[in-house]
Structure 1
Amino acid sequence: MGGILLADRIRSLGAAHWLGFFGAVLIAWALMFWMAAPAELRVLEGLYGAAFIETLCGGAYGASSFLPSFAMWTLMSAAMMAPTALPALATYDDLSHVASTGFGRLLGGYLAVWIGFSALAALAQVILFRFGLIGSLGQSLSLPLTMALLIGAGVYQFSALKEACLSRCRAPLTFFMQHWDEGPFRNGIRLGTDCLGCCWALMLLGFVGGTMNLVFMGLAMVLMMLEKLPEIGRHLTKPTGLALIAAGLALPLF
């Protein structure tokens, strides 16, 4: 029986809306890879300073400009957060059996929340850059800022809000049954809001590892995906919080 259900699920992933979903995620990651500063620019930043890189690429992807930063954060949010919603999206697909328009509206509502977050994060990036707290590649240049981001994210792992949002993300069937009559777009908004409540602090750790660091972002995406899985996530959230707090407190020693 389990094998039949798995086969049905695999076949369903060949539907047009799923192909579009996975294709969009791959395109988002490809664009992020294309936008990411190559190793040569990182070497030049070390040799000549952030001002050199700001002059070189500030007109295109520099941290001092809102629109390029917003585009980068939007791509990053789509590439990282859409995959973390896979269990909820698959549950909706099983419940609805509707055309791709319903699926698309759900995903649109979900991503609308993260686009709003991206605008705030981009604004924060521009402000932090202009105060000299982050570099042109989005990495923190300030020990207090790095410590605050790590410790803040660690403490948030223990918060009641994080736990409440995670509990809803880990039970998508219950979530959709409660709000089904509101329609796919509003369901997507609700789902995105809960996801934001789970992950915003971890997303802001991009300022620690560098918002142009795709390896760091890939690892963060995997962590956030695992956190939303009931059997794995409940053993992961608080240890992750302890590790982040310890890293923040130990940072001055290194």
Structure 2
Amino acid sequence: MPLSSRIRAMAAPHWLTLFGLILAGWVALYAMALPPGMVAAANLYGVEFWQSLCVVTPDLAGYWGVAAMWAVMVAAMMAPTFLPALATYDDLIHSGAATRAGFGLLLVGYLMIWLGFSAVAAGLQITLYRAGLVSPVGQSLTPWLSGALLIGAGAYQFSAIKEACLTQCREPLTFFMQHWRPGLRNPIELGLRLGALCLGCCWALMLLGFVGGVMNLAFMGLATLIMIFEKLPDLGRHLTKPLGWGLIAAGIAAIANALI
């Protein structure tokens, strides 16, 4: 589809709803990352709910609060990386092979996988916090943990699992042709499959949030861009392995600095 036609197609209600949800997710993340002084100022203006929204540390929020924070974070970060697959599905809508209802179900299936990841990541954050390895905002307190996460994520960039998952994520039309079946149940199944593939691509990069801080907006923005670029066929092939070497080098440097 030509670029001009694609832009016009993305003004449809289902696209505008998706963009609105992504924007709402990033606004919520910004609110949760507000410094205490700004939270107090918001309360002076009668916006009491900001305070509870901004309490996301394990000692105050508990497991479910941290899990909710992770759920918002992965939805805001991972939904944009799913746009190429959604655009391909939208082409199928215009050809008459798919429906707008299927578009929503595809996204629901995809996000269900990442909600599962959120539940696990929240448990991991609380475990690391109680062990004294990360701060209340989820930032590593030891270069050994930072180094291990960086080296592990870098090494994973060269793994066969990462390559297999990326190959399918970069070719959504081929994926849809392989797994297409009639009926409204199929879009959910397709979303679950694509969510699992995306998880296989990105879980190690997401855990790097413990290096820079889970609620670090700069990290989240950079990580989102990297994961989007990695899924682009032309650009991603030239990004994956250099990124892996860079992460390994950063991990070694972190550990080396601790030994000096």
TM-score (norm 2): 0.87
Which amino acid letter does the alignment assign opposite residue 55 of structure 2?
A
Q: Deviations over 1:136-189 (max 9, x none)?
A: 111000221111100000000000000000000000110000011171000000
Picking from 29, 33, 36, the partner of 1:36 is 33
Name the aligned partner's letter for residue 146 of structure 2. T
Please say if residues 91 and 173 of structure 1, whose CA atoms lie closer than 8 Å, have aligned partners that are also in contact. yes
What secondary structure sits across from 1:183 in the alignment? helix
Which of 81, 92, 95 is the equivalent residue of 2:92? 95
What are the residue-to-residue correspondences of 1:1-254 with 2, within 5 Å?
5-38=2-35, 60-64=55-59, 65-97=62-94, 98-181=98-181, 183-254=186-257
Amino acid at match of 1:218: G
Say if 2:230 and 2:239, in contact at 8 Å, map to a contact too: yes
Counterpart amino acid of residue 135 in structure 1: S
Identify the residue that residue 51 of structure 1 maps to in structure 2: none
Moved over 6 A (4+): 56-59
- Structure 2 unaligned spans of 5+: 39-50
Rounded Cα–Cα distance in structure 2 between residues aligned with 1:34 and 1:100: 32
CA gap of 1:59–1:108, structure 2 versus 1, over 3 A, is closer
Kept in 1: contact 2:88–2:173 (CA 8 A): yes
- Match for 1:93: what amino acid? D
- Structure 1 unmatched runs, 5+: 42-55
Q: Which amino acid aligns with 1:31?
A: A
Which residue type is aligned with residue 247 of structure 1? A
What number of residue pairs does the alignment pair up?
Answer: 237
Q: Deviations over 1:8-49 (max 9, x none)?
A: 1111101111000000000000000001142869xxxxxxxx
**Identity rate of aligned residues, in percent?**
58
CA distance in 2, matches of 1:78, 1:166: 19
Q: Deviations for 1:194-237, whole angstroms, at most 9, x for unmatched residues? A: 00000000000000010110011100000000000111110100
Moved more, 97-106 or 163-172: 97-106
Q: Contact 2:31–2:54 at 8 Å: present in 1 too?
A: no
Secondary structure of 1:135's aligned partner: coil
Using structure 1 for the length normalisation, give the TM-score: 0.89
Return the alpha-carbon distance in structure 2 between the equivalents of residues 58 and 101 of structure 1: 31
SS in structure 2 of the partner of residue 240 of structure 1: helix
CA distance in 2, matches of 1:99, 1:59: 38
| Matching residue's letter, 2:163 | E
Checking the alignment, whether the CA contact within 8 Å between 1:135 and 1:141 is kept in structure 2 is yes
Q: Which amino acid aligns with 1:159?
A: S
Contact 2:33 2:54 (8 Å CA) reproduced: no
* Structure 1 counterpart of 2:43: none
Q: Could you tell me how far apart the structure 2 residues matched to 1:73 and 1:40 are?
A: 23
What SS does the aligned partner of 2:248 have? helix
Distance 2:192 2:29 in 1: 25
